[in-house]
């Protein structure tokens, strides 16, 4: 019996995306297929361990960080629609075709500390319009608010390889079929419940948080005997891509809040490579995303490697965290 399936190509053909966006998404996902195959082979592909270098963020680079970065960078810079590419792993953006129509930002391997222990990692990407056609793209061209995004998504490499995508018309999910070598649509119109009993946070940083965040977590931990009147569960994957995916599947709130651990870092997560693309997805799924006070997508970026605090997920829960912070101001 023939069962009709909708491929990523079919889906994009049916929606109001430009040829440039369609082409760039195809280029990204083809590179992600290669990354997925390398992860499956693990040590057999010699991808485990560190390379002995630090990236622009001051983090030790894993072998697959570099491999994934190179795969995506090489693929995108040869796409005729791509005017420039910015990677979390590189100091500056890389110009491509000056006549291209879009810019692409990516985190090649979010959660790369999980590689060696065979836990979830993923690729996050954001597509922006290029507004200076005919001129070589520079870092400044990427400094656009998250509301300008044409599309964003992530590929989660787990027990199966999942693509989650938004082009501004809701959120859809695909799974990679290794037999067909295609991403197949598995869920349309993904939505996040406005309420939740599950939160994700790196609790080891409690002593560095601002009082409103400490109060929020204390209230969650007090459970049904506290002011919230219900029990919460804590989950933490140590990869934003995994925590966001869990929220999209079963609800919840994720936060990497402002802390005082490092005086020169307002937050852990990068606005352009992580916060903006994930916020676009979360909002399109009916959730909310803030820096605890301000909407993430409205932040005016000042640097392609800018960091921000992030609180995202279930709308009512994010609003409550925002209320606690506003009361402190």
Residues 166 and 202 in one domain: no
Helix (H, G, I), strand (E, B) or coil at 301: coil
Domain assignment present for residue 193? The answer is no
pLDDT class of 52 with cuts at 50, 70, 90: very low
Backbone angles phi and psi of 157, in degrees to 5? -100, 100
Residues 119 and 224 in one domain: no
Residues 120 and 52 in one domain: yes
> Mean pLDDT score of the chain, rounded to an integer?
91
Helix (H, G, I), strand (E, B) or coil at 267: coil
Question: Total domain count for the chain?
Answer: 2
Is residue 23 within 8 A of residue 101, CB to CB? The reply is no
Domain assignment present for residue 1? The answer is no
Domain assignment present for residue 80? The answer is yes
Provide Rg for the chain, Cα atoms.
Answer: 19
pLDDT average, residue stretch 216-233? 96
The residue range of the domain holding 108 is 8-187
Domain assignment present for residue 18? The answer is yes
Write out pLDDT tens, residues 270-321: 999 999 999 999 999 999 999 999 999 999 999 999 999 999 999 999 999 9
Residues 93 and 165 in one domain: yes
Residues 41 and 162 in one domain: yes
pLDDT class of 53 with cuts at 50, 70, 90: low
Q: Among 120, 154, 187, which residue terminates a domain?
A: 187
Q: Which residues contact 48 (CB under 8 A, 6 or more apart)?
A: 42, 62, 63, 64, 115, 116
Is residue 248 within 8 A of residue 97, CB to CB? The reply is no
Domain assignment present for residue 145? The answer is yes
Domain assignment present for residue 12? The answer is yes
232: domain CATH number is 3.40.190.80
Q: Which helix (H) or strand (E) holds 153?
A: strand 151-157
Backbone angles phi and psi of 151, in degrees to 5? -165, 155
Domain assignment present for residue 70? The answer is yes
pLDDT average, residue stretch 132-151? 97
Q: Among 187, 209, 239, which residue terminates a domain?
A: 187
Residues 138 and 228 in one domain: no
Residues 14 and 135 in one domain: yes
Write out pLDDT tens, residues 65-76: 888 999 999 999
């Amino acid at each position: 019996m023939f069962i009709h399936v909708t491929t990523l190509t079919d889906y994009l053909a049916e929606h109001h995306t430009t040829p440039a966006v369609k082409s760039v998404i195809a280029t990204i996902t083809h590179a992600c297929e290669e990354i997925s195959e390398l992860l499956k082979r693990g040590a057999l592909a010699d991808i485990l361990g560190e390379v002995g270098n630090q990236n622009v963020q001051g983090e030790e680079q894993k072998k697959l960080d570099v491999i994934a970065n190179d795969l995506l960078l090489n693929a995108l810079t040869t796409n005729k629609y791509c005017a420039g590419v910015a990677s979390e792993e590189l100091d500056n953006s890389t110009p491509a075709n000056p006549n291209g129509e879009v810019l692409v930002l990516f985190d090649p391997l979010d959660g790369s500390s999980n590689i060696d222990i065979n836990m979830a990692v993923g690729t996050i990407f954001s597509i922006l319009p290029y507004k200076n056609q005919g001129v070589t793209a520079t870092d400044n061209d990427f400094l656009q608010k998250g509301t300008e995004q044409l599309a964003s998504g992530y590929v989660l490499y787990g027990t199966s390889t999942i693509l989650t995508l938004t082009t501004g018309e809701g959120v859809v999910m695909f799974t990679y079929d290794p037999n067909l070598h295609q991403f197949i649509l598995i869920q349309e119109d993904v939505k996040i419940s406005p309420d939740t009993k599950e939160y994700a946070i790196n609790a080891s940083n409690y002593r560095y948080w601002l009082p409103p965040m400490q109060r929020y977590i204390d209230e969650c931990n007090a459970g049904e005997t506290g002011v919230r009147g219900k029990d919460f569960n804590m989950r933490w994957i140590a990869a934003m891509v995994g925590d966001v995916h869990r929220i999209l599947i079963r609800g919840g709130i994720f936060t990497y809040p402002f802390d005082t651990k490092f005086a020169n870092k307002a937050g852990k997560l990068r606005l352009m490579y992580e916060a903006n693309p994930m916020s676009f997805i979360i909002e399109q799924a009916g959730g909310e995303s803030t820096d605890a006070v301000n909407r993430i997508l409205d932040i005016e970026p000042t640097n392609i490697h800018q960091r921000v605090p992030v609180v995202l997920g279930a709308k009512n829960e994010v609003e409550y965290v925002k209320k606690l912070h506003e009361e402190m101001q």
